[in-house]
Structure formats: structure tokens, C-alpha cells
Chains A and B, each alone.
Chain A
Amino acid sequence: MIPVPGDGWVRLSPRKLLLDPVKAIGQALVPVVVALVGVSQSDMRWWPYFLPLAILAPLALGAIPWLTTHYRLTEAQIQVRSGLLNKTTSTAPLDRVRSVDLEASLLHRVLGLQKVQVGTGVDDDRITLDALAAADAQALRTTLLRRRATQPAGDPALATHPSEPLDGLPPTPQPAPVLLARIDWSWLRFAPFSLSRLVILAGALGVFSQFADNLPIWNEETATSVWHWVNRFAVVAVVAVLSLGALVSWVVVAVGGYVVQWWNFLLVREHGSLHLTHGLFTTRSITVEEAKVRGVRLTEPALLRVVGGAELATLATGVEDGVTQVLPPCPRDVAVGVGGAVLESSGPLTFPLVEHGPRARRRAWFRQLRGALVMAVVAAVAAWWFDVSWAWVAALAVALLVVAALVGEAAYRHLGHTLTDRHLVAGSGELARVRTVLETDGIIGWVFAQSWWQRRIGLTDLVATTAAGDERVLVRDVRLDVAVALADRATPGLLTPFVEAAS
């Protein structure tokens, strides 16, 4: 049951009384055990006093939030009141509600609870209700979003619509949710090619190496004899087994992580919002108002691209960090299709990009080679210092330069821009191919930034500033006149007073 407008204050779900103490006990477990051990060592007489305290304190502490937190809906606002000594009241105007996110940890789910977060378009300022019964949370979400979706119905221009009842009751039927994407387990084949989980594996290896130091077998003598054995018989075999082991554990971690994160993945469009749900243990349900989605970003990391995969994120204003990943690693066609549906136009993700020309290619190469040269010089100094053979330095330098040239060429190939009737498109990325699409309506300024190098060859970095996503879209190393023309066409009128035609 959620309150209807006009009702009084309502508490959160009573099952929160179970949720918080369990959490509190979890947090207090270590200090309590330490205290108990300390007490038991000194004197057993205190046990009868101490034990009830240790159990009751978390229960009491856990009950306080439930007792002191209330919320209510009025005609115009959602209000949350909380705090025991310091009372805080958060309010959000209902017509400012931009997003309603639901989240449930494993513990929440066992208790049938969900955490509700209401975003109002101002970053970092979200109203949190932790926790409501799952059904209530859903109802609250629907209420908040539907209310916002029907806002225009109050508009006098629309009130004359024939299908609209005169007094506005009952509310107009909502269009059915449109399915944009759902999990397809054949996408699991992309999991090992997405390196975002490599960090976890590296962390696990770190823990293991800490642990391995303490293993009794690991002393110098065994190490030397093992090395001799390895050297004599089986270098190839050992390397092969180790690599195979690493590969297998990587595949297991990657696939497992993919399953846990994207279980039950579903992306639908309803009430004028994009609605995303996923998660095996912790379920997330994220809602972004479509009017606030200013663009999308299609990313094809190098490895994923080899197998034809891609990732998609939306760029929105008024969401916590602006960039929301809305698809797991999936086939490129799916990402392009969903991106096209979100943008309501498939062109921006499929049109070829305008290349930036030979001077931009030179810059892209130069940028990478400069890094390689610095590293080569550092290596040379180190070699001189440690008296290492120069052949190694030469080999390293050649390898660095080849890699740099390859990366530079890739970076140039990914570079580009185009302008469709409603979207600015920028291609970027070095190893990954990234295509950023931004609604031209979402552009709130331009920056033409030229370094000294760029000025010499007439190139510029063009930055479209925006409130969405990372708050900037960069078109790198584009010719200055092309940049000016591009900016002028993307935001008609804005540059007009400052642009003149050079003969």
C-alpha cells in the first residue's frame, strides 16, 4: 500500500525492522566478538549483563530508522522526513521527478524489499527510501512516472483532443511498454572479450601472491631446484599449463560476472522513460526519462570488436553520473538497433564519418610516437645506468615505435565527425572505437582549443559542451574552417555574429 495524495505520513515497510538489525549485526560483529573475548578472558561474571546488550543494541539501533522515517505524497510533492535528533525533510516536486531507480541486495530480496531512489534532475541530490515492500516500490515508481507522463494532459491545447474525457477522469490509458532488448544468452560469447572484469582477476592474483609468500615450499632452495627442473625439462610445458590456467580462470570469471550482472536483463520503454532491469543477486532497476536522454555512446573495445561486439550507453542530464550503460556487451547490430531506437533515428550510428585528413593522421601518429620516444629514452637511461646490453634497448625501442605507429594509425581511423539533421556525431578512441552521438539541442556552448602544434598546421580540437553525460563531446584534430562550419550548422544562429567568410 502506498499513500495516495492527501494521506498522512507513512512508515517504510515493517520488514525493515529485520533488514537493519541484520545489517547492524553484520557491521557490529567484529567489535562485539572482540569485546566478548576480552570480557571472557578477564571475568566470566559479566557475561549475563553483556550478552543481552550485545544482541539488543543492534536491534534497537536498527529499529530507529524505521521508527523515525516517514514519507508522504501530496498533490505536488513527495516528502521524506527522517532523523531522531536532527530532523531532515527532503521534498521533491512531482513534476521534477526525472528518474526512479529500484535496487535490491540479496538481503533485500530475501525479505521482499526494495530500495527506491528518486532523482530530480539535480545531480547528487536524490531522495532515498530504504526500504519499501517490493510491490509498493513498483507502485510508487509507476505512480511517480505516470504522473509525470500525464503532465501534458493538463495542457489546454491537448484537452480538446476527442479521446480525452472532459473532466480528465479516468486517466488516459498508458501505451503498452515497448521492449527494446532482453538478455540473449548467446551473448555470453562476448563476456571473455570484455576486459572490464580483469581488475577483479588481478585483485585475486594479488591476494594469492600475498598468501603464496607464506607457503612453506617457497624458499630459495626449492625455488632454485624448481628452476633447474623447469629449465631442464619443461619450460614449454610449464608456460603452456600456466597460460591455459590463466585463460580458463579468466573465462570463468568473465562469464560468471556477466551472468551475475546481466541476469534477467530487460530494457523497455514506458511512460516516456527508458526502463532497465538486471542482476542475479543484487537486482537493479533504473529508469531514465527519455526527454533527458541527449545522446548515446557506442563503444567497441579492441578485443570485443574482433568478435563483432559492442557496448551502448546513454548520455543523460540529471542522472547521477550521466552515462548509463544500457546494454551488456552484445552483437554490434543489436547495440546499433537499440541506439537507433533510443535516438529515434538510425542514421547517427550508421552514417560514415567525415575523415579529418592527412594532417590529423600526422598528429595522431605524432602523439603516439612522442610517448614511445619518451619511453625509449627512459629505457636507454636505465640501460646505461644498469649496464644492460644496447641490443635490448634497440629491440625495445623498435617494438615501442611499431606499437605506437599501429595505435596512432588506429586512433586516426577512429577519428571523424558528421552532422545529421538532429545529431552531432564524433568518432574517437585509440584502441577502442567510440562513436558519441549528441542531440544538437543539447549543445550549450563550443570551445575551439588549439595547442601550439595544432595552430601551426591549422587544426583544432572542437568541444561541444553539454549538460549530458561527460558534459563534453570532443571532435579532435579537425581543420579549423571545418570546425567553424560544423559548429555553425549544428547550432544555427549561435555563431553567426562571430563568423565571417575569408576569401
Chain B
Amino acid sequence: MSDSGGTPVLRAPGHQVSPRAIPFWTVSALVGDALLVIAATLAYVLVPDAPGWVGLVVLLLGVLAVVHVLVMPRIRFRVHRWEVSDTAVHTREGWIGRQSRIAPISRVQTVDSRQGALMRLFGLASITVTTASAAGPITIDCLDAEVAREVVARLTAITAVTEGDAT
């Protein structure tokens, strides 16, 4: 029992994700937001007789996009943390909301690693650990590709020796 001394709190997982995650998130947010803002601006310019307040909305959208691109990756880098102990996987993620996920390694069913084209450019990889529950997959986003390989190898080694059908 850990609730003997004071109120129990969940401590942050031990490791941060790769620092290269910040430029990666910036670039992917930039691409998405730029498309959205350009589309909105084009629509505003091309549609004749659009009332003035629509222009304000488009402007607001642009400002929000800039804030999103500048702020989100930094907050996210501070929040995202992960840890793989001998018995459990623990991650924390989010930037407005916050999610902590814990799964016992004995119940892990698959360990996947994924590397998109943009992630490869930044030398990053993501790991997804699934359990028998559809609500339970745990993703460790944007690890250093080298670290990701080690973690996958370690997880696979541990899960290989666990018995049972993990339900």
C-alpha cells in the first residue's frame, strides 16, 4: 500500500522524449495549419461580397495557428514522458488535457514501432504497446530511433517469457 504517508500522487515517468521531437511537431503542425489557413484565406478572397467579420475570423484563425505552431511543441515536450519498468509501461501525454497510461507488461500482447517519412527525417520513431483491450494501447511518441529499437527489443524479450493469454 502506498497510501500510508500523505495523499498518493502519480509521479511523472522517468524519461523525456527525444529533443528532436520539438522541430518534428513544429513542422508537422506547420504543414497542417498552413494548409488550413491558406484554404480559409483563399475562400475569403475568392467568395465575392463576404462580410467583414468573416475576415476577422480568418485573421483569428491565422493568429491561433501561429500560437499553435510556436507553443504546442514546447508544452508537449515538457508533458510527454515515458518509462518502462520491469513490470509496467507508464506514459504521460497531452498538451491541453493530460493522459497518463499504465499497463502491466505481463498483459502486453503486441509491440509495434512506427516511423513515418517525416519522423525518419528527424531520426524519430514511435512505439505502440497493445493489450487485449481496445481502450488500452499505449503509444510512446517520438523517441530517438536508436532508443526505440532498444525499448522494443527489451519489451519483446520480457513479453516472450510471460505466459497465459493476457486477458
Residues on A facing B (Cβ under 8 Å): 121, 317-318, 442, 444-452, 454-455, 463, 465-468, 471-472, 480-481, 484-485, 487-489, 491-503
Contacts and interface: CB of A to CB of B under 8 A. Distances in A.
Interface string B1-21: 111111111110100000000
Interface stretch (B26-34, B47-55, B85-93, B147-155): B85-93
Main secondary structure of the interface of A (DSSP, over half): mixed
A123 to B, nearest CB: 10
B120 interface: no
The 4 closest A-B pairs by CB, nearest first: A445-B103, A467-B132, A465-B136, A472-B135
Contacts of A455: 97-98
A498 B101 contact: no
A448 B1 contact: no
Main secondary structure of the interface of B (DSSP, over half): loop
B102 A499 contact: no
Contacts of B7: 481, 485, 501-502
B9 A452 contact: no
Given A444-B107, A498-B11, A471 B98 contact: no
A317 B132 contact: yes
Given A448-B10, A499-B8, A488 B3 contact: yes
28 contacts: A121-B167, A444-B107, A444-B131, A446-B102, A448-B10, A448-B99, A450-B97, A451-B96, A455-B97, A467-B132, A471-B134, A471-B136, A472-B133, A472-B134, A485-B3, A488-B3, A488-B8, A489-B1, A495-B88, A497-B88, A498-B13, A498-B85, A498-B88, A499-B8, A499-B9, A500-B9, A501-B8, A501-B9
Given A448-B99, A488-B1, A494 B6 contact: no
Given A450-B97, A498-B11, A500-B8, 16 more contacts: A444-B136, A444-B166, A445-B107, A447-B136, A452-B97, A455-B98, A467-B132, A481-B9, A485-B2, A492-B1, A496-B2, A499-B2, A501-B3, A502-B7, A502-B8, A503-B6
B101 A445 contact: yes
Interface residues of B, number: 38
A448 B8 CA distance: 14
A444 B98 contact: no
B29 to A, nearest CB: 19
B163 interface: no
Contacts of B136: 444-445, 447, 465, 471-472
Contact of B99 (A317, A447, A466): A447
Contact of A488 (B2, B90, B100, B101): B2
B9 A449 contact: no
